[in-house]
Amino acid sequence: MTEEATSEAPTCGPEETGSEPAQASPAEPSGDGAASEPTRSPTPPEPASQAPAPTAPAAPAATKAAPPSEDVPSAPLLLAVEDVSDSSVTVSWEPPERLGRLGLQGYVLELCREGASEWVPVNARPVMVTQQTVRNLVLGDKFFLRVAAVSSAGAGPPAVLEQPVHIQQIIEPPKIRVPRHLRQTYIRQVGETVNLQIPFQGSPKPQASWTHDGHALDAQRVNVRTGDQDSILFIRSAQRSDSGCYELTVRLEGLEAKAAIDILVIEKPGPPSSIRLLDVWGCNAALEWTPPQDTGNTELLGYTVQKADRKTGQWFTVLERYHPTTCTISDLIVGNAYSFRVFSENQCGLSATAATTKELARIQKADIVAKPKGFVERDFSEAPSFTQPLADHTSTPGYSTQLFCSVRASPKPKIIWMKNNMDIQGDPKYRALSEQGVCTLEIRKPSPFDSGVYTCKAVNVLGEASVDCRLEVKGKGKKKVLPQGWSLNRGHLLSCWA
């Protein structure tokens, strides 16, 4: 009795289905007629004169010749609604306490819509299940359900649901899923397009609305398209006035969800307001300028200072992303006259124009008499010596590791790497590098077999020097046992310890 039956909701009206059984039912059924009556109509119909109560339809009137009470089953127990969706309802019940002397043939589930007086059978024949699903229901339907146990003597008293079943749209609360890149300030440049696609959830389709800094959107500048699952905000050509906080609100049946997105529209900054040459002494010149009036709607990253001598007129960058508004330019060439200019810089780049000094910085020639001294050539030859030795290292199997040391020598020495006093040059497992005195040995995916003492040796014509360290590769796995007859060469050992 644990099986489940599925039935479709009756499509005809209650009056049509109830009229035919009423005419076919005899006034005084005999014993044989009582046994065959449940095949055509599982339960006796109600008289048309009896109107349903406001909360539930009235129970059917008893027939003139009812079967003995001990022949028919009693009413099913614990009739309850298990699940209700937007197109179906599932009910369950327990078998009756008394099955009757003639035995139980099954159950008949009946439906009566609110406001009607007739009960319509859901299943044409009795079914031997205690759980049944009625499908193909329409949104807005409101009806009562009852179930009766049937034997060969007839149908017993029904069990009726106390409250009507109402088929309603299942409401899924609205929820907004803001993309990851929009959870921080969304930055665009002036003239670029803004295209925000914000997905949301909710059933039935919720209502979505946008605001800009708490006010309604400008329909001439901002376009919004809302679908069943997302809302798109589009600005064809962004302007600085489009910056601000855009809030998306999704509403559904008194519920709402909100998401705020910050948009910042920026452009290149203006040049510094003014610049002047403070002082010139020796080969140095001091400058001062004032910040720009327009920073491009964002913070400045700094200033770029350039110089140009009067002879060539070519500009050379002296300082980049320099934050103070004063600086000193040094190492100017004696006898030249220099002009200086300063650009402002933000995320969009340098300002379109620069503030340029009106005065020239003239580097005067001083009355200096050169006294050349005899040049003594120095011998920089030096035997190898390690300024940074190797350090003992512990590594994990399967993760490449590196050993470092630094050496000083002239002429450039030859670097030799050894493991346990054996040369490992040319072994593809190792890669040796030497650049500007820094010697590096990379061991690719070491295994416990690669543990040992590593030596770095530097040799040139004036001598040699060496440093060493111990490398320990700690393995986590258990040692594999080689099959009998396998040779313990290096490849096998690597596979055993991998």
Query: Tens of pLDDT along 251-273?
Result: 988 889 999 999 999 999 999 99
Lowest model confidence (mean pLDDT) among 64-78, 344-358, 393-407: 64-78
Q: Give the pLDDT score at 492.
A: 45
E strands within 204-336?
Answer: 207-212, 215-216, 223-226, 230-235, 244-252, 255-266, 275-281, 284-289, 302-309, 316-322, 326-329
Q: What number of residues does the chain have?
A: 498
CA atoms within 13 A of residue 455's CA, in its CB half-sphere: 13
Residue 72, classed as helix, strand or coil, is coil
Q: Whole-angstrom Cα distance, residue 216 to residue 194?
A: 18
The mean pLDDT value for 386-399 works out to: 91
| Apex 348 CA angle, 342 and 354, nearest 5 | 20
At residue 97, φ and ψ (nearest 5 deg) are: -70, -35
Whether pLDDT at 24 is above 60: no
What are the C-alpha distances in Å from 1 to residues 44, 82, 150, 423?
A: 25, 16, 15, 83
- DSSP string for residues in 468-480: EEEEEE---SPPP
Phi, psi of 162 (to 5 degrees): -70, -35
Structure tokens at 447: 């295994």
Instruction: Please provide the average confidence, as pLDDT, over all residues in the chain.
Output: 82
Q: Is 64 helix (H, G, I), strand (E, B) or coil?
A: coil
Q: The tokens 């910040």 sit on which residue?
A: 291
- Residue 390: beta bridge partners? none
Three-class DSSP labels, 384-400: EEEEECCCCEEECCCCC
pTM: 0.48
**CATH topology classification for 382-473:** Immunoglobulin-like (2.60.40)
Confidence of residue 20 (pLDDT cuts 50, 70, 90): very low
**CATH class, range 276-363:** mainly beta
**Average confidence (pLDDT) over 309-319:** 92
Spatial separation of the C-alpha atoms in residues 201 and 204, rounded to whole Å: 9
Mean pLDDT of 208-223: 93
Phi then psi for 352, rounded to 5 degrees? -65, -35
* The pair of three-digit structure tokens given for residue 364, joined into one six-digit string: 């005067």
Beta-carbon contacts of residue 51 (< 8 Å; ≥ 6 apart) = 58, 117
pLDDT score for 267: 95
Of 57-61, 353-357, 359-363, 458-462, the one with minimum mean pLDDT is: 57-61
Per-residue pLDDT, 287: 95
Q: Does domain 80-167 have CATH number 2.40.30.10?
A: no
Q: What is the pLDDT of residues 434-467, one digit of tens each?
A: 998 999 999 999 999 989 999 999 999 999 999 9
Beta-bridge partners for 84: 89
d(CA 305, CA 319): 5
CATH annotation of 172-266: 2.60.40.10
pLDDT for residue 9 is more than 60 = yes
Would you say 345 and 269 are in contact if contact means Cβ atoms under 8 Å apart? Answer: yes
Parts of the chain belonging to CATH 2.60.40.10: 80-167, 172-266, 276-363, 382-473
**pLDDT, tens only, 407-441:** 999 999 999 999 999 999 888 899 999 998 999 99
Residue-wise pLDDT for 464-488, tens only, equals: 999 999 999 987 654 555 555 554 4
Per-residue pLDDT at 309: 92
